Structure 1
Amino acid sequence: MSAPTITSAVFDAVGDWSQPLLTYYDHASGERTELSGATLGNWAAKSANFFVDELGLGPDDEILVDLPEHWQTAAILLGAWWAGTHVRLPGSHLERSALGAVVTSAGAVSGYDDVDEVLVASLDPFAMGVRDLPVGVTDFASAVRVHGDQYSPSRGATGPALDGEPTDSVLSAARGAAETDGIVRGTRVLTTRPWRATEQVVANLVAPLVVGASLITVSHGDETRLAGLADTERAGLTLR
């Protein structure tokens, strides 16, 4: 049976909601943020509720997510898919006029003057807000906090889910990538692989989560620290 959204498939695979599902490291900044299945689910739900209730987005609407690898990025992607929207990534062929919203970083705001709804994710370890944004630009962290941390889709997404690909195709590709990498349910996967482009998001973010693995993703990875990090996090598989 087909999953109604990518996010539904990810959370259907969670075995223990109290255990770490996504752990984010940034070796440049020193950040370490660990999210259980329940916590990541709450952030995804807040994001979905914001997109639906505040922006009125849903199936057939497009959201461009222009963000680096970060736990907030994962929550935003999962929220957008849960809402049934079509997620677009930078570099994909799209019409700016068709975008329902853009979620980006503070440093990239000026590139989206032609988009009506621009949201800025702080990428702060504690999801603190961003100050002194231009008029008309929304601080995403502050906006989503007031929304509920549970989400029940009114209907499944029927159109494309990620850069033109429908949900079933994305999930099939993700499960194939997990099999190729030897990722199975319960695996603790440590990765320095990027997930900004379409294929990277599918293979390096969605793939581990959709088969019931937990993901430890490292930005600006320091090769000299990875072996020790794998031991500390009890990773069963390291992907570079």
Structure 2
Amino acid sequence: MNSTDQTPAGLLGAALATDAARPLVTYYDDATGERVELSAATLANWVAKTANLLQDEFAVERGDRVTLLLPAHWQTAVWVLACSAAGAVADLDGDAAAAAVAVSGPDRLDAALACPGDRVALSLRPLGARFPEPPSGFADYAVAAPGQPDAFAAYDPPGPDDPALCVEGQELTGRRLVELARADARQRGLGPGDRVMSLSGYDTWAGLSEGLLAPLAAGASVVLCRNAELLDAAGRAARVASERVTHFAA
């Protein structure tokens, strides 16, 4: 394992170097009909913009906690990887009151208000659209992020043994995250070119691993499905076929 791929952001860098154009995250919302496909290059671009937002606009430093009150979504994947790049600890479904920054979807704004620092709201509308009217006390991610630079360099680069993420109350270093993700990928038999369909949230290790980190560690890709309970069996089978899904994670 190289020193550069011992963090989630490092895994994204490896995917970018291997094949920047290949689809890495495909996202469906069956409540809205939305489908978004992000190549490694497009995902990396969003990660760079978000990491710059954290570092330059919100003055987040290495080790600061960023609470993510978000469902499994392509923008949540961006935030997890951006926190890793900036050296912040991504706290999935954590306590906003203990965070330097709280990031929330439209249904968790009340919980995010407990954050004493900066707060960011994501509309989770199709194509990453902005809120019709920004929530009071929050920066609108769709307004704040697009103008950030397309490349990112950390002022104080995180190391693999720094805390990188907290999920289900367990804090993990970047190195440990990558080890666990690679172990999960081996257990699932994932390899380069595989496509994992995930219906799980990102508030558990299993959901985060199967829906992002294990495929990333294996050189595979993920098809995230939100509100998939609205899809009937025929629709699900059609999606599996059209997306060339090789592995399924409920």
Flag whether TM exceeds 0.5 (same fold): yes
Do the aligned residues in 1 keep the contact of 2:96 with 2:102 (CA within 8 Å)?
no
Structure 1: tracts of 5 or more residues without a match: none
1:77 is aligned to: 80
Q: How many residues were matched structurally? A: 237
TM-score after normalising by structure 2: 0.88
1:184 to 191, 194, 209: 191
Compute the displacement of 1:238 (Å).
Answer: 2.6
Q: Aligned partners of 1:125, 1:38: CA distance in 2, in Å?
A: 20
Distance 1:159 1:29 in 2: 39
* Bigger mean CA deviation after superposition, 193-202 or 22-31: 193-202
Asked if structure 2 preserves the Cα contact closer than 8 Å seen for 1:9 and 1:210, the reply is yes
The Cα RMSD (Å) is 1.8
Residue number in structure 1 paired with 2:152: 151
1:68-110 CA-to-partner distances (Å, cap 9, x unmatched) read: 11111111111111111011112x5x582x4110000123212
> How much does 1:27 deviate?
1.8
Distance 1:133 1:127 in 2: 14
Superimposed CA distance per residue, residues 193-212 of structure 1 (whole angstroms, 9 cap, x where no aligned partner): 33222342134321101211
Identical aligned pairs, as a percentage? Answer: 30
Q: 2:41 and 2:82 mapped to 1: Cα distance?
A: 14
Q: Which moved more, 1:178-187 or 1:10-19?
A: 10-19
The aligned counterpart of 2:113 is 113
1:15-66: CA deviation from partner (whole Å, max 9, x where unpaired): 2111211100112221100111111110011000000010111211000001
State the match for 1:133 in structure 2. Answer: 134
Where structure 2 has 5 or more consecutive residues not aligned to the other structure, the ranges are none
Deviation of 1:4 after TM superposition, in Å, equals: 5.5
1:163-215, Cα deviation, whole Å (9 max, x unpaired): 11101111111111111111111112222233222342134321101211011
**In 2, are the aligned partners of 1:173 and 1:203 still within 8 Å (CA)?**
no
Q: Separation in 2 of the partners of 1:69 and 1:13?
A: 20
TM-score, normalised relative to structure 1: 0.91
1:122-172, Cα deviation, whole Å (9 max, x unpaired): 112211111333432111111011101111234124521111110111111
What is the match of residue 63 of structure 2? 60
Match in the other structure for 1:239? 249
Partner of 1:13: 15
